[in-house]
Structure 1
Amino acid sequence: MNFEKMSDQQLWDIANPIMDNLMDASIQLDHTKHVRDFTERMKVIVTPEYLYVFACTIQPRKGISPAGCRFVLFRRPDSVAIVWKQSFTKVLGEYVAEMVLVYKNDRYLVDHVMVF
C-alpha cells in the first residue's frame, strides 16, 4: 500500500472512523474496542491498565474530546501520519490528536496515536 498515491479524502475517510472509535472506546473504558485497529506492537503498549490510567486521569481534567477538525496529512510510502486540531469540554485551548496508520494483513492499523 502506497499512501503517497492516495487522495486526501481517501485518507480522511479511513482515519476518521478509526479515531472516532478510539475516542469512544476510551470514554467507555472498553479496551477491546479501543485496540481493535491497533498493530500488535501497539497492543503490547496499550494494556487495559494503560487505557484505564489515561481515561481516569486525563479525561476528568480535560473533559470529553469532541470530533477534531482535519488539519494535515503527512504521507510516506508505507504509512501516513494524520493530525487533527482538537478541543476539550473542560479546558480552553487547542490540542493535537495524531495517529500513524499502516497497512498490514489487508487492514489499516494504528501504529501510533497520541492526544496532547
Structure 2
Amino acid sequence: MGLAGGFLGVPFIGYPLTGVVKGCQGQGAIGCILIGATLGASMRLGLAVGTAQWFILRHIVQRSQWWILASALGWCGIGFTLTKMLYETIPATGTPNFEKTILEQLSRSA
C-alpha cells in the first residue's frame, strides 16, 4: 500500500515542492522529491490504517470518521519527521551540518 502511495507522491507532491520551496532546485531537488514520496506513502498507509480502525470503532466512538483523517495526518507527521532526521543532520550546537547524514555519521563512529 505504501509503495503505491510513494510512487504517486513523487509526481503529485515532490515535483510541485521543487517549484515552490526555495532551495529545491538543482541537487536540492532530491530532498523535496524524497519528502514527496515519503508523504505519499505515509498518507496512503495512514488512510488504510485509519479506515481499518474506523471500521472497528464506528460502533463504539461517535464521529469516528475523523479517525481516518487523524491517522493519515499522524502518519504523515511521523514520515516527514523521520525523513528530515535521516536526510539532514542538526547537531546539538545548533549549527546545521548538511554534508553528512545521520546514517553516515553513525557508520563512521561504529
Query: By the TM > 0.5 criterion, same fold?
Result: no
The structure in which a higher percent of residues are helix is: 2
The structure in which a higher percent of residues are strand is: 1
TM-score (norm. length: structure 1): 0.28
Greater Cα radius of gyration, structure 1 or 2: 2
TM-score (norm. length: structure 2): 0.29
